[in-house]
Chain A
Amino acid sequence: MNIIQTDLLCVGAGLAGERVAIEAADNGFSVICLSIVPARRSHSSAAQGGMQAALGNSAMGEGDSPDVHFADTVKGSDWGCDQEVARLFVDAAPVAMRQMAFWGVPWNRVVPGEQTYYKGGKPFTAFEKPENEGLIHSRNFGGTAKWRTCYTSDGTGHCVLYTLDNRAAQMGVSVVDKVEAIALIHDGAVCMGAIARCLKTGELTAYLARATLVATGGFGRIYRESTNAVICDGGGLITALDTGVVPLGNMEAVQFHPTGIVPTDILVTEGCRGDGGTLLDKNEYRFMPDYEPEKAELASRDVVSRRMTEHMRKGLGVPSPYGDHLWLDIRHLGEHHIRTKLREVDEICQSFLGVDPVHQLIPVRPTQHYSMAGVRTNSDGAAYGLKGLFSAGEAACWDMHGFNRLGGTSLAETVVAGMHVGGTVVEFLSGTETTFKTECMRDAYRKQEDRIKALIHGSNGRENVYGVRNAMFDTIMKGAGIFRNGTDLQESVDKLTEILARARKVGLKSNGLGANQELSLALKIEGQVKLAQCVCFAALNRTESRGAHTREDFPERNDRDWLNRTLATWAKPDDVVPTLNYEPATKVFEIPPGERGYGGGKIIPLEPAPEATPKNKKA
């Protein structure tokens, strides 16, 4: 039995995991990051667009401040976010961007003088102040009052991840790749690390840690059509859910991005629309201003995705062998802009579609993109339920996103939350000792060993793991897509109950030796079906529409009954649905619930209306 001990174990080495790791290493603690792929292949690298921070250096960002950023974030979340956390985020974001610049990110910078930009497909000029020359520039993203998104061409995630991983190498953080945590070691009260499987040899190792961080990103891959990397399979969330005591927050809050390409579902950045791209229907008619006169293509993602679906349901989508889609038009931005500032988009269109976006339209439709849901933590990033367990980034429900995340905030969240949670982890490590209980470790280890043996020998059955996954794909999309209703959701919950029973009978077809990838999937299929069930069951129970959660049978946002956060735990391993509890969405109301200013929809108000709490007041 391999046993390795460390102060901090980061499960996941994307931006959030590495940022926390760096903070701990910087303060003299031993850190190990586990990653199922080499760190730089983490999904953070795929984020093209940028990071929101109210630096206000650019002409179109003038007058921006954390307060304006805060208001955008709360509205974007449809008042589902924790306002204390949103405040923490907006205040710290500018510092985090500057720190990234200091460590080496080649942010695009302000070029002084008159510059041509595009809005809604039309060019206009803006004057960039000479005194701001060389400061970090920003571009436009949806749902924001100011141009606030810091960027490096359209390779922002890539550059920030490479910079941070360089910093991790410099700090001597031990990043172990091709290792997957498959279970947490805990006694129901304290987390003591994780059992991990080596994806090179298949060997198991027990990692004992005083603090454990889940930073494994989203769970988009429980949907068949997702913009996410194939590694975003919910692995970290499954280990948390399996404890039976750690709740996942707002599992029904799943974001669909307006512009996944058809087919292959690869994302083209919101920067396309931010820079002036438009959406067209089968008649090449620009329809978004009809629905959203003010924000048009740059309303929040939930709204644009809904409007696109609505428009396609009217028969105005473009038919294709892969189903209906719409067009994204960036031709008017011109060759120079597309080949430099939207270079990844250009490459994706050329390589995967054979489309030249300088001259041709890009086929797009709303595609699963982001999990606002995640391991529920407090504002320190400490998970509910287990002491010593933390979470950050997309894997966490820290909760600055509520029911809809704005573009440019997930990437920003990774480093801002990473910086903040890194600080609280350091505090925790400085002041807390842990007793490692060897029986907990041995139990956890043996349990995983037994699971692997059972899968290899087919002792629970011989269900085909890919067949089970396909059934899950069909079912979750039927119930928990962009538009939802009680009948479909109930049907999905019933079906997932059957699929869960099948998942428990999976057996391998191959021999399972070494880095066997059939075994990797088989080890998490039951957990994935449970996650899918959490999404559908939470969505069925939330009888209102808020942000990305849209119920056709309950179209109002119901602040009276539903201004809260769903907490889902899997109390007993053989349960078929999660146990749901609820907590208030936020304890402080810097901005009491109100209209978003886009998206339409009725609101059932909270009575009596909560009073605004002063800025920065803690709950």
Chain B
Amino acid sequence: MARMLKFNIFRYNPQDPNSVPHMQAYTIDETESMTLFIVLNRLREEQDPSLQFDFSCRAGICGACGMVINGRPGLACHTKTKDLPEEITLMPLPIFKLMGDLSVDTGTWFRAMYKKIESWCHTKKVFDPAAQEERMDNAVAEAIYELDRCVECGCCVAACGTALMREDFLGATTLNRVARFMLDPRDERTEKEYFDIIGTDEGIFGCMGLLACQDVCPKYLPLQDVLGKLRKKMAFAAVNNILPSFLRKDIKL
């Protein structure tokens, strides 16, 4: 028997002087294999063309459609209505600047992040178009890929206790990105340089270990492991920095 679903959706258009933040209710009939992508597009086309939300790939690959679904950050495109109760509340992701209704500005946040941690391979080498590629162990490539799978949806940041309390916290997505470069033999940054980026309270030591990031990550990144190992590595780095060289210890990620 098809259900009638009730959606409570956060509405506010900051560009409209007459708009005030409020919740608006919609009802829609449930269909087979229905996802929130289908629901929101139908609502806009059939009931309310002013409704704002973001999708791009609608296949769980691009990370555009992060929102808070019944209290939990997740990707709307791969959320099936059959896994949800009859009444569903949709809110925009917190932390990120609101553009309107369910649409937030993740782009600005992430671009600032790339700058802060210099999210690229640091190397003094120069590319030689005539040379064969440098070799890499396939297992290393796969380990890098495992962390490179982050889609920057922002769900881990939105779910993070520390991020909600301090604006400058880097968040799991950023720390994971740093870990990705630490694993990469092409990045020549030293442990000391990494420590300067994340060995602080806005970095790895700000993490309270609540680990909602891992719970909500739609790509199932092993964030608990990544954060744990980074913390250990950076703690040793802090000690190493003051120890004589023969006492220093290297922690592998």
Contact at B145–A134, with CB atoms within 8 Å?
A: no
Contact at A170–B120, with CB atoms within 8 Å?
A: yes
Contact at A110–B138, with CB atoms within 8 Å?
A: yes
CB distance from A43 to the nearest CB of B (A): 7
Contact at A41–B135, with CB atoms within 8 Å?
A: no
Contact at A109–B138, with CB atoms within 8 Å?
A: yes
| Docked complex: B45-104 residues within 8 A CB-CB of A | 45, 48-52, 54-64, 78, 80, 99-100, 103
B152 within 8 A of A: yes
State which of B8-16, B158-166, B223-231, B242-250 sits at the interface with chain A. B8-16
Complex Cα gap A64–B104 (Å): 47
- A201 in contact with B15 given A167-B120, A231-B56 (CB within 8 Å): yes
Complex Cα gap A241–B160 (Å): 47
Contact at B152–A38, with CB atoms within 8 Å?
A: yes
A582 within 8 A of B: no
CB contacts (< 8 Å) of A202 on chain B: these are 15
Contact at B15–A515, with CB atoms within 8 Å?
A: yes
Contact with A along B125-157 (1 / 0, CB 8 A): 101010111111110111011001101100000
CB contacts (< 8 Å) of A177 on chain B: these are 107-108, 111
Contact at A152–B63, with CB atoms within 8 Å?
A: no
Which residue in chain A gives the minimum CB-CB distance to B105? A200
State which of A311-319, A346-354, A381-389, A598-606 sits at the interface with chain B. A346-354
Which residue in chain B gives the minimum CB-CB distance to A157? B61
CB contacts (< 8 Å) of B121 on chain A: these are 103-104, 166
B233 within 8 A of A: no
- A352 in contact with B110 given A264-B33, A517-B44 (CB within 8 Å): no
CB contacts (< 8 Å) of B63 on chain A: these are 40-41
- A229 in contact with B120 given A134-B136, A169-B111, A513-B13 (CB within 8 Å): no
CB contacts (< 8 Å) of B32 on chain A: these are 321
Contact at B141–A107, with CB atoms within 8 Å?
A: yes
SS class, residues of chain B in contact with chain A = loop
> Which of A109, A134, A169, A201 is within 8 Å of B115, CB to CB?
A169
> Which of A39, A162, A466, A510 is within 8 Å of B148, CB to CB?
A162
Which residue in chain A gives the minimum CB-CB distance to B144? A106
B188 within 8 A of A: no
Complex Cα gap A97–B131 (Å): 12
Which residue in chain A gives the minimum CB-CB distance to B41? A230
CB distance from B44 to the nearest CB of A (A): 7
Contact at A38–B110, with CB atoms within 8 Å?
A: yes
Complex Cα gap A2–B14 (Å): 20
Which residue in chain A gives the minimum CB-CB distance to B32? A321
A204 within 8 A of B: no
Contact at A351–B78, with CB atoms within 8 Å?
A: yes
Contact at A513–B138, with CB atoms within 8 Å?
A: no
Complex Cα gap A447–B132 (Å): 53
Contact with B along A465-495 (1 / 0, CB 8 A): 1100000000000000000000000000000
Which residue in chain B gives the minimum CB-CB distance to A155? B149
CB contacts (< 8 Å) of B103 on chain A: these are 515
> Which of B105, B145, B151, B152 is within 8 Å of A152, CB to CB?
B145
CB contacts (< 8 Å) of B149 on chain A: these are 155, 158
Residue count of chain B within 8 Å CB distance of chain A: 65
CB distance from B225 to the nearest CB of A (A): 17
B106 within 8 A of A: yes
B241 within 8 A of A: no
CB contacts (< 8 Å) of B48 on chain A: these are 510
Complex Cα gap A207–B59 (Å): 33
| Docked complex: A330-371 residues within 8 A CB-CB of B | 340, 344, 347-348, 351-354
CB contacts (< 8 Å) of A199 on chain B: these are 99
B26 within 8 A of A: no
B186 within 8 A of A: yes
CB distance from B194 to the nearest CB of A (A): 16
Complex Cα gap A209–B162 (Å): 43
CB contacts (< 8 Å) of A43 on chain B: these are 56-57, 62
CB distance from A23 to the nearest CB of B (A): 12
Contact at B135–A133, with CB atoms within 8 Å?
A: yes
Contact at B133–A101, with CB atoms within 8 Å?
A: yes
A305 within 8 A of B: no
| Docked complex: A38-80 residues within 8 A CB-CB of B | 38-43, 45-46
Residue from the set B57, B119, B136 with the largest chain A CB neighbour count within 10 Å = B57
Residue from the set A106, A159, A231, A508 with the largest chain B CB neighbour count within 10 Å = A106
CB contacts (< 8 Å) of B140 on chain A: these are 106
A282 within 8 A of B: no
> Which of B44, B59, B111 is within 8 Å of A266, CB to CB?
B59
Contact at B35–A352, with CB atoms within 8 Å?
A: yes
Contact at A38–B33, with CB atoms within 8 Å?
A: no
Complex Cα gap A415–B11 (Å): 41
Residue from the set A41, A321, A340 with the largest chain B CB neighbour count within 10 Å = A41
CB contacts (< 8 Å) of A103 on chain B: these are 120-121, 127
B236 within 8 A of A: no
- A41 in contact with B148 given A514-B16, A518-B50 (CB within 8 Å): no
| Docked complex: A537-586 residues within 8 A CB-CB of B | none
CB contacts (< 8 Å) of A137 on chain B: these are 138
| Docked complex: A274-321 residues within 8 A CB-CB of B | 321
A sample of 10 more A-B contacts (CB under 8 A), given A110-B138, A230-B56, is A40-B110, A46-B61, A103-B127, A165-B114, A169-B115, A178-B105, A178-B107, A201-B15, A229-B56, A321-B32
* 16 A-B contact pairs sorted by A residue (CB < 8 Å): A37-B62, A40-B62, A41-B62, A101-B136, A102-B186, A103-B120, A103-B127, A106-B136, A106-B144, A158-B151, A167-B120, A178-B105, A264-B35, A511-B50, A514-B14, A517-B51
Question: Ordered nearest first, which 10 A-B pairs have the shortest CB separation?
Answer: A514-B15, A134-B135, A38-B107, A510-B50, A177-B107, A518-B49, A106-B144, A166-B120, A351-B78, A109-B138
